[in-house]
Structures are given as C-alpha cells and as structure tokens.
Structure 1
Amino acid sequence: MNRFSYVRARDAREAVDVVSAHPTARFIGGGTNLLDLMKEHVTHPSHVVDITRLPLKGIEDTPDGGLRIGALVTNSEVAWNAEVKRRYPLLSKAILAGASPQLRNMATTGGNLLQRTRCYYFYDVGTPCNKREPGSGCGAKTGFNRIHAILGTSEQCIATHPSDMCVALAALEAVVRVTGKDGERAIPFADFHRLPGDTPQLDTNLKPDELITAVELPPEGFAAHSTYLKVRDRASYAFALVSVAAALTLDGGHVRSARVALGGVAHKPWRNPEAEALLTGKPATREHFQAVADALVRGAKGFGHNTFKIELAKRSVVRALEEAAGREGQP
C-alpha cells in the first residue's frame, strides 16, 4: 500500500475542497472496496478523505412521496429498513443477495454505487488492463473471461459492474444527489454509470470533485410485483453471472408498465426501455416475457468463456418476470 495523507472531513465542503486540491485524493466511507484496491496496488491515492462524520446517514420521506437514503447509510440498514422492505422490496432483496453480512454492515450506499469492477485483469497489476492503465490493452478479451460482459462492450474493455444494489436502483429509476465545487445536482440513475467506450477508466459521470450525498427513490416502488434474481456460482458471497431486477404494474392480468434491469452483463446496469415497452398492454404470459428477453439481449456478444451468458440472460429474464407476475411455472 502506498503512503497517503489522511483527512477527516468536518463537513461536505471541506471534503470537496481536499479532493479538488489533490487529483488523486479519494473519499472513504466503509472502505470495503477502496482498501482492497489500495492493498492490491491498483489505486494509489495521495489523500484519503474520511467522510464518515458527515450528516449523510438518514432515511427519510421526500416531498413527492419517495424515499431519500443518505450516502453513508449502510447496506444492512437499507435492506432491513421497514419502509424499504414495505415500499421497495426489490431493493431490499437485491442488497441481501450481495456480499456477506459483515460487508453489508460496513458498505455504504454511496460506496456501493462507486464499486470498481471485479475483473481479474483489473486487480492483477502484472497484466494489461485499459481500465487500470489506459492504453495498455485488455487482457480479458483473449484471456479467461467467464465473468465478463456480453452487452455494451468496446474494443477497450469487457468488464462488468459488480453491484447488486445498483441493478435494483436502475429498475426503480432512482436519482443520485451529489455536491461539488460547482454546487449540487441530481443525476438520473440511467446517466450515472458509463459504458466503457474509449475511456474505460471512467466508471461514472461524476465530476472528479463531486461527492454523493444521497440516493432518492421515486414514489412507485412496485411493491406488489417485483423480484430480484441472481444467478451465481455459489449460493452466497459471489458476484452475479447474471442478475435481473424485474418490476411490473399489472391490471387484470395485463401489464400496465414494466421495468427490467440486468446485472453481471455490462459495464453498468443494463436496461432497454424499448424492450420493456413490448410488454405494455400485453397479458403477463411467458410468450410475451420471452419477447422482452430476446429484445434485451439482442446484439449481445460473447468472448468464448462467457458466451453461455447470452442464453442464461434470456432465461433469467423470463424467470424473473414470471416471479414478479406471480406466474412462476405456468405455461
């Protein structure tokens, strides 16, 4: 681990000022990802800015009937919060599907959004990785790429975003609140994370000095018909090969609206509103769920070891939609 200066911020302005003054400075909350990256020599911050004393730990109603979750609320606190479980069970299920209880007790809401990929080549500093060292190449493309992306890839990177929570937040169409030198702003969740393109080292559209202060959930939580399905190599503490956050509004057996977000398949939680719209006004049947699955995965590309994910993603979407509709196992 490299030498660094430690600063405990007294308020958000001080935290932002330190990071603004030092380009390689990093905020730290729970530290469940940043410390790993530092110990593996993947990242080398000059300053670590401790934000754990900032007043960003509340869960409260918003004026429009939604819910505001502070950036420092732990994953465990979100998952077990009575209002989240009642109004946004999709989010609770997604968080509980991720990591171990010990990690959920430390990991924060803001930190979860900023997780770096779990690509083997990203963590192995002896191998080429454009995300870690732009221009060095992508070892995963011709290497062992079983866990890697099948959608939204580029010549530069085929890494995936590892978060479970973010997949649910994408389906719920959350909003990320941030503050920086230029003031506060709100970022729709669909615009928060980036696809790799030619700049795979950039995971989000945050400005370098911006600090996440909260995540806001809209009033509609799809409490009656939603589910989170995670397919992984073992039953606990494993990242998703494919995950699906499915949410439906039903009216007499017909779909009034649908949201489907995929995890484990792209550099960001993957959604396609045009594919979701195929369900609008249609009966909640396997035939129509299959059409959505095919549309969601259209254009997917495997790289050898991970080609199985294409069919796995389709089947997972159908199964998740059946579960959300309460029709699992029906023809």
Structure 2
Amino acid sequence: MIRFDYSRPSGVNEAVQAGAGAQVAYLAGGTNLVDLMKENVARPLHVVDINRLPLDAIEEMDGGGLRLGALVTNADTAYDERVQRRYPLLSSAILAGASPQLRNAATNGGNLNQRTRCYYFYDVDTPCNKRNPGEGCGAIGGVNRIHAILGTSDHCIATHPSDMCVALAALNADIHVTGPAGERVIPIGEYHRLPGDEPWRDNTLKTGELVTAIDLPAEDFASHYTYLKLRDRLSYAFALVSVAVAMRIEDGAITEARVALGGVAHKPWRSPSAEELLVGEAPGDAIFATVAGAILEGAQGQGDNDFKIDLARRAIVRALHQAANGTPQSQTDKRIA
C-alpha cells in the first residue's frame, strides 16, 4: 500500500474543502475502498475520513418521503421500520447483498459509489480501461461470464455491482451531493453512467463532490413489489441478473410499473418505454414476456455471458409475477417463489 495523508473533518464544508484536491478519496465504511487500496487499484494521496459528519440519520420529509443520510449503514437502513413498511423493495434489495458483517459497516453513500467487481479491474497485471485509460478491455474476448449485456461499449463491459441501487432506480430516488460549487440534486437515473469512451467515470459526480443524502419519494409500492436476485450461490455473491419491480394494480389492471435490472450493465438498467407497455394491462404471461423482450432489446453477449440474455428474460417474467401476485422474493428463504 502506498503512503497517503489522512484527515478526519467534522463538518461537510470542511470535508469538501479537503476533498477538492487531486487523488483524494472519501472514506466511510471502507468496505470497498480499503480493498481497492490493498490491491493497489486505488492509490489516493489523501484519504478524507467522513465518519464524523452529521449524515447518519433517516428523516421524514414534507409530503411523506424519507431522507436517508449518506452515512446511515446499509443494515440500519434495511431494518428501519419506516423503510420496511413504506419501501420494502429497498429493504429487500439491501438484505440480498453482501453479508451481515458488511451491511453493518457499509454506508448508503458508499454503496452508491462502489466500483465494479470485474476481474480485470481488480488485477493490476491485466489490461483495463477503467483502471488505466487506453490499456484496452481484457474482458472483451477474455473471461466475461459476469459481464454486461446492455449498454456496453468497445472500451468496457463491466457491470455495476450494487443491489441497493437497483431498488433506488425503481423507486426514482434523488441523490443529494455537495461540492466546491455548492449543492445539487441528481436523479438516480442520471447518477450512474454507461461506459461510452470514458469507462473510468462510474458516475456524474464532479471532482470533490460528496454524497450527503438519498431522498425516497412518497409512493406506495408496498403491496406489489419484489427484488429477485440470481447468482452462483445463495449468499455473499454478486448478481448475475437481478430484477427490482415496483407495481400498482387497481381493479385487476396495472396502473404503474417500474422494472430495474442489476448485473447486466454499467448502471442499473431501466426501459421506461417497456414499462409503459404494462399500463392498463391485466397481469399475465403474454404481456410479461413482451415487456421482458422490450427491456432486453439490443442485449448482446460476449461469449461466456451469452446465457445472461435468456436468464434475464426469464427473471423479468418471474419477478413481474411475484410483484403482481403480492408474493415478493424472500431474502431469508431464498428459494425462488
């Protein structure tokens, strides 16, 4: 591990000032950053420990939403009574990820900003445009079983690893950030980005910006939802494909539906035009299959991950049935419902 400076500010403005320099990293739970530093992937010259900042509360918002502080742990978020009652999709997605020990340490802001688990990104002896721009992408033409099938580019086929962010995408969350230029709010759909020709940019944060909170709008998806995660083993594994569904049904017809996918792209993947196909329809195999096909339009495998296309299609249909039936996937009994 390289030598680095360390500071521990107690205020947000002080933290932003410290984070405005070159090669600075914010440290919260450390469940991702410390690993990256140990593997020599991340080489910050200054680590800013933000754990003293007053960002560790879950607060009611005017209008009925919830504001999740960036330093609230994943565990405290998932088990918060208000989250479980009003946003069970988010609670379920968080509990599908990592392990209890990691969820006790990992923070909401850190989860948003965690980096890909691509083998090539973590192995400094292999080419990776995300780690070293211009080197090439070792996964293209290499071992790519876990890699993306949507939104890829010739420069990168890595996937975003978060479960929490897939649920946030379906819930239309807003991300509050503050930086040298002041505060701003970024819709979750605009927060993460596709690789394009700048795969080293995971999100739309500007230099020195710090996530302070996540806002959950006041919406009722507590009756018809699910988070379905398919992986190589039932716990402590990243998704091959995951599906978050938030749905409203009135008089036997779907009045609103949101479908977000994880494990398939550089960001949580949504297709609003495909979701719109569900509106006004009665739940059923035919419409669900049509929507799955529309969501996966343009999906392309890279060889080892070709299976993900069919897996995602079947997972979307299964998740839509779970949500429509009001039988969400259990994160305790992980047999697929």
The TM-score with structure 1 as length reference comes to 0.98
Alignment partner, residue 52 of structure 1: 51
Alignment partner, residue 94 of structure 2: 95
Q: Does 2:299 align with 1:297?
A: no
Aligned residues: 327
Q: Secondary structure at the match of 1:86?
A: helix
Matches within 5 A, 1:256-267: 256-267=255-266
Q: Does 2:286 align with 1:277?
A: no
Q: Secondary structure at the match of 2:269?
A: coil
Segments of structure 1 that go 5 or more residues without pairing to the other structure are: none
Q: Give 1:308 shift.
A: 0.3
CA contact (8 A) 2:70 2:213 kept: yes
Question: Moved runs in structure 1, 4+ residues, more than 4 A?
Answer: none
CA contact (8 A) 1:119 1:159 kept: yes
Q: Give 1:10 shift.
A: 1.5
Q: Give 1:221 shift.
A: 4.0
Q: Secondary structure at the match of 1:292?
A: helix
Matches within 5 A, 1:153-232: 153-232=152-231
Residues 327 and 53 (structure 1), Cα distance of their counterparts in 2 relative to 1, 3 Å cut: closer
CA contact (8 A) 2:127 2:136 kept: yes
Amino acid at match of 1:51: I
Amino acid at match of 2:13: R
Alignment partner, residue 9 of structure 1: 9
Amino acid at match of 1:8: R
Hey, what's the Cα distance between the residues in 2 that align with 1:283 and 1:190? Answer: 27
Amino acid at match of 1:124: D
Hey, what's the Cα distance between the residues in 2 that align with 1:311 and 1:218? Answer: 33
Matches within 5 A, 1:64-143: 64-143=63-142
Q: Give 1:63 shift.
A: 0.8
Amino acid at match of 1:268: K
Amino acid at match of 1:172: L
Hey, what's the Cα distance between the residues in 2 that align with 1:133 and 1:189? Answer: 27
Provide, for residues 73-106 of structure 1, a one-character-per-residue CA deviation record: whole Å limited to 9, x for no partner.
Answer: 0000000000000000000000000000000000
Hey, what's the Cα distance between the residues in 2 that align with 1:199 and 1:23? Answer: 18
CA contact (8 A) 1:178 1:212 kept: yes
Q: Secondary structure at the match of 2:228?
A: strand
CA contact (8 A) 1:172 1:221 kept: no
Q: Give 1:65 shift.
A: 1.1
Provide, for residues 186-238 of structure 1, a one-character-per-residue CA deviation record: whole Å limited to 9, x for no partner.
Answer: 00000000000000000000011100000000001410100000000001000
CA contact (8 A) 1:29 1:51 kept: yes
State, as a whole percentage, how many aligned pairs show the same letter. Answer: 63
Hey, what's the Cα distance between the residues in 2 that align with 1:324 and 1:268? Answer: 23
Provide, for residues 267-312 of structure 1, a one-character-per-residue CA deviation record: whole Å limited to 9, x for no partner.
Answer: 0000000000000101111111111100000100000000000000
Hey, what's the Cα distance between the residues in 2 that align with 1:232 and 1:221? Answer: 29
Q: Give 1:252 shift.
A: 1.4
Q: Give 1:64 shift.
A: 2.0
Segments of structure 2 that go 5 or more residues without pairing to the other structure are: 328-337
